[in-house]
């Protein structure tokens, strides 16, 4: 991701929809990153035991929200 102003989106793992396997969080992160990429949003995602954190360029925040909404994550 290039330098610039970024925004962070945090998702609680416990609130993931049923179609996301919480026991395979790496696969969940990869799916989210891939869907964002296909939606034209360049993002990086990480997770700890409670939260998925998605970092995007602030000017791509609206696009990220659209993709995450389509995935029923927000």
Q: Is residue 24 part of a domain?
A: yes
Q: Is residue 49 part of a domain?
A: yes
Q: Is residue 48 part of a domain?
A: yes
**Where in the sequence is the domain holding 45, given as residue range(s)?**
6-70
pLDDT tens, N- to C-terminus, the chain (74 residues):
556 899 999 999 999 999 999 999 999 999 999 999 999 999 999 999 999 999 999 999 999 999 999 999 99
Q: Is residue 20 part of a domain?
A: yes
Predicted TM-score of the model (pTM): 0.89
The CATH code of the domain that includes 46 is 3.30.70
Q: Is residue 1 part of a domain?
A: no
**What is each CA distance from 62 to 20, 38, 49, 57, in whole angstroms?**
23, 15, 27, 10
Domain count within the chain: 1
């Amino acid at each position: 991701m290039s330098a610039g102003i970024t925004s962070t989106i945090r998702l609680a793992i416990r609130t993931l929809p049923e179609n996301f396997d919480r026991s395979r969080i790496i696969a969940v992160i990869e799916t989210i990153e891939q869907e964002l990429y296909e939606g034209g949003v360049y993002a990086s995602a990480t997770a700890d035991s409670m939260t998925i954190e998605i970092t995007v360029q602030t000017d791509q925040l609206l696009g990220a929200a659209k993709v995450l909404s389509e995935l029923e994550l927000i």
